[in-house]
Amino acid sequence: MIDKNQRKNLSKIKQIIKLLEKSRNGYISKLLKPMPMIVGSLYEVYKTCNKPNCCCAKGRKHGPFWALSISVAAKRSVKMVKKDDLTEVRQKALSFQKYQQTLAKIRKINKEIDVLLEQIKKAFLEEYN
């Protein structure tokens, strides 16, 4: 039988779960309307051309050039980004990062809800004799 304190605690747990659900649903709603995305992270690349009389031979490298670092199935690859495509690629890569961050928030909330539901289960679990 559940006593008064346990009921109070269960009530708090249920309220927390409802708040977490509301938050999770907001994140899910965002993910249901995604922007175009590109997998990867943009970064600047500076290069040398190996010409003996070039300024890069003295330490001043050419660049910046933009590259997209992509990790798929634990393999990393790099794609150079054309100057004309930079704005679009930057926005799509940012959209991907935001999407991934939102997914991580949803997963964290799901874990929190799971822990709270386990607490509810323990409160109601009886042993058969």
Residue 30 lies in a domain: yes
pLDDT at position 102 over 90: yes
Q: Domain residues for 19?
A: 4-124
pLDDT at position 1 over 80: no
Could you count the other beta carbons within 10 Å of the beta carbon of residue 123?
Answer: 13
Residue 67 lies in a domain: yes
Q: Six-digit token pair at 112?
A: 């929190």
0.85 surpassed by pTM: no
Residue 129 lies in a domain: no
Q: What digits encode the pLDDT tens for the residues 6-36?
A: 888 999 999 999 999 999 999 999 999 999 9
Question: Sign of torsion, CA 49 52 55 56?
Answer: positive
Please give the pLDDT value at position 93.
Answer: 96
Domain count, the chain: 1
Distance from CA of residue 63 to its chain's centroid?
A: 30
50: left (phi over 0), alpha (psi -120 to 50) or beta: left
Q: How much is the average pLDDT of 74-84?
A: 92
In the chain, % of residues over pLDDT 90: 71
**How many C-alpha atoms does 79 have within 13 Å on its Cβ side?**
14
Please, what is the average pLDDT of the chain? 93
pLDDT at position 50 over 80: yes
Question: Residue 8 and residue 17: Cα distance in Å, rounded?
Answer: 14
Question: Residue 29 and residue 8: Cα distance in Å, rounded?
Answer: 32
